[in-house]
């Protein structure tokens, strides 16, 4: 939704714009969980957005439950064998991205030992190690 010159930015127009953006990006996501665009690989873009929406109480408003499941699936598919996450989908694990993705998984409801192939526990172990 484009805000025209002089048009007030309201809760409603902001919510509509966020939902439209989320629907647009979900339509671009391919079956094995990634977005085939020039910037498809960075693993540090989404977690801060997830955190901001959670802190402001808008996570469930902007993203339906199905979207949240897809975000987790993306994280599972791109977790490194050592349990961490890198700056991009082919990168070696870094503390920055592993911590961001670990917090994101927590916000999205993963339990202490949850996630596909114990993704959450493996991420925690990588951080501790």
Count of domains for the chain: 2
pLDDT, average across residues 28-49 = 74
7-16, 34-43, 74-83, 87-96, range with the lowest pLDDT: 34-43
Same domain, 13 and 62: no
Give 76's contacts (C-beta < 8 A, 6+ positions apart): 33, 115, 116, 117, 119
Same domain, 107 and 66: yes
pTM of the full predicted structure?
A: 0.68
Per DSSP, the residues of 87-114 read SSTTSPP-HHHHHHHHHHHHHTT--TT-
For the beta carbon of residue 13, count every other beta carbon within 10 angstroms.
Answer: 14
| Separation of CA 16 from chain center | 20
Same domain, 85 and 26: no
- Is the Cα dihedral 88, 90, 92, 93 positive or negative? positive
pLDDT, average across residues 86-93 = 89
């Amino acid at each position: 939704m484009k805000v025209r010159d002089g048009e007030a930015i309201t809760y409603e127009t902001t919510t509509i714009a966020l939902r439209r953006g989320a629907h647009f990006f979900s339509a671009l996501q391919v079956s094995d969980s990634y977005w085939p665009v020039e910037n498809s690989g960075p693993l540090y873009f989404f977690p801060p957005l997830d955190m901001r929406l959670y802190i402001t109480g808008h996570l469930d408003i902007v993203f339906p439950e199905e979207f949240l499941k897809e975000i987790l699936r993306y994280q599972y598919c791109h977790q490194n064998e050592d349990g961490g996450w890198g700056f991009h989908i082919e990168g070696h694990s870094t503390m920055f991205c592993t911590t961001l993705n670990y917090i994101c998984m927590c916000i999205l409801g993963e339990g202490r030992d949850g996630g596909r192939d114990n993704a959450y526990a493996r991420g925690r172990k990588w951080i501790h190690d």
